[in-house]
Structure 1
Amino acid sequence: MKITVYSTPHCPYCIMVKDFLKEKNIVFYDLNVAENQEAADIMVLKSGQLGVPVIVVEKDGGGEEIIIGFDRDKLLSILDINN
């Protein structure tokens, strides 16, 4: 499973998502869309969103889940984590 967080440095919800993943010892890639236009373009193509955070979870068996914003319950479910 590969997790990518599209974020900006000062976005409070981005910080919450990254802190949550770190607490759960989940490895993720953090792409700063404020400094990386290519990442911003990919984020918009995948999610249709201009706002951050956008979390893309690429599953091992194929397919991906896209989470808009910090949705703790959806993250727990997709990542199969017990509180």
Structure 2
Amino acid sequence: MRITVYSKPQCVQCDATQRTLRSVGADFTVVDLTEQPAALEYVTEDLGYSQAPVVVVEDGTGQHHWSGYNRDRLKAAAAA
């Protein structure tokens, strides 16, 4: 499984998302949307989100994603 957090600086929900993933021992990658124009285009154009963070979870069944801080979904993704 792979978890990617598309984030931006000084974002309270982004920080909370990363803190929650660290607290449950999840392995994840952070992509700064302000430094990666291609990532920003992917999040806004391909996935359709306009708010950070965007969490993308790739597991054996496909790709799941959401925007904003969602503690329950983060814990479920880390447990899978």
TM-score (norm 1): 0.86
**How many Å separate the matches in 2 of 1:35 and 1:54?**
15
Q: Which runs of 5+ in 2 are unaligned?
A: none
Tell me the CA shift for residue 68 of structure 1. 1.2
Tell me the CA shift for residue 26 of structure 1. 0.7
Secondary structure of the 1:52 match is: coil
Q: In structure 1, give the amino acid aligned to 2:52.
A: V
Tell me the CA shift for residue 51 of structure 1. 1.2
Are 1:7 and 1:52, in contact at CA under 8 Å, matched by a contact in 2?
A: yes
Query: Is 1:53 aligned to 2:53, yes or no?
Result: yes
- The structure where strand makes up a greater share of residues is 2
Tell me the CA shift for residue 80 of structure 1. 2.9
Q: How many residues align structurally?
A: 80
**How does 1:57-76 map onto structure 2 within 5 Å?**
57-59=57-59, 61-76=60-75
Tell me the CA shift for residue 46 of structure 1. 4.0
TM-score (norm 2): 0.88
**How many Å separate the matches in 2 of 1:78 and 1:28?**
11
CA RMSD in angstroms comes to 1.5
Report sequence identity in percent.
Answer: 31
Q: In structure 2, give the amino acid aligned to 1:39.
A: A
